[in-house]
Amino acid sequence: MSDVPFRNPGWAGNTGEFDLSEADVRGTTYAGERPLDGGHPSTSASYPFMLVARNPGAPLFEGPYQERFEKIRGRYPTARAALLPALNLAQEIRGHVSPETMDEVAALLGLSSAYVRGVATFYTMYNKRPVGRFLIQVCTNISCNLCGADEVLAAFLQHTDTELGDTSADENFTVVEAECLAACGFPTCVQINERYFEDVAAGDVPDILRRLTDELKGD
């Protein structure tokens, strides 16, 4: 564990009238399946877009994914407004957004390839090349940096045997820096695919990686 002073434990205990555990509050015991078609149209554009299972060669939008794409398109007044969630959906399926994928999304939305590529390359949330099954983003901005983010980043690189931005030999892990993950009250914050891990210290890294590896074994 980190020896950084004033470390926020990230959990104040049960302070309300409900008997809830930390896992209940944080949703770490979430059970259920997100419908691939997006469910209600109001939620179709808000799904996480980094999953463990992905297929870079999969057709872009077919079956339930086609339904979700149509729901997304119907939620926005213009094709440009629907572009970001459409790219999110493409990345969920394929794991990254290649130039060819950008061109496919452009054709489906009736936009120019140049416009879509300009948008996709502006945002760091879109992977422009394949990444590991778990994309580990370590915040190194000021709050996390002051609370040991450099040590956390170094620990992830050490225990995954990777260099920054590279993918491990087993294709399970890619470790990158994140500018800010908007969890400044619980540094160091780490986002792994769509999940947040708050108050992470270098000593926590082996357990986090073990948990992720166990999840793969359970699939």
Give residue-wise pLDDT tens across range 21-39: 766 665 555 555 678 888 8
Give residue-wise pLDDT tens across range 59-83: 999 999 999 999 999 999 999 999 9
H runs (alpha helix) in 50-94 = 64-75, 83-94
Structure tokens at 64: 């339930």
The answer to whether residues 192 and 28 touch, using CB atoms and an 8 Å cutoff, is no
Residues 6+ apart with CB under 8 A from 195: none
Give residue-wise pLDDT tens across range 76-129: 999 999 999 999 999 999 999 999 999 999 999 999 999 999 999 999 889 999
Residues 6+ apart with CB under 8 A from 88: 45, 47, 49
Tell me the pTM: 0.81
pLDDT confidence band for 5 (50 / 70 / 90): very low
Q: Which domains does the chain have, with CATH numbers?
A: 32-122 (1.10.10), 134-218 (3.40.30.10)
Give residue-wise pLDDT tens across range 164-182: 999 999 999 999 999 899 8
- pLDDT tops 90 at residue 40: no
Query: In 3D, which of 147, 139, 140, 136 has the Cα closest to residue 8?
Result: 147
Backbone φ and ψ for 98, nearest 5 degrees, come out as -80, 165
| Residue whose pair of structure tokens reads 């996390």 in the numeric block | 144
Tell me whether the omega of the peptide bond preceding residue 188 falls within 30 degrees of 0, making it cis. Answer: yes
The mean pLDDT value of the chain amounts to 87
- C-alpha to C-alpha distance for 1 and 3, rounded to whole angstroms: 7
pLDDT confidence band for 46 (50 / 70 / 90): confident
- pLDDT tops 90 at residue 8: no
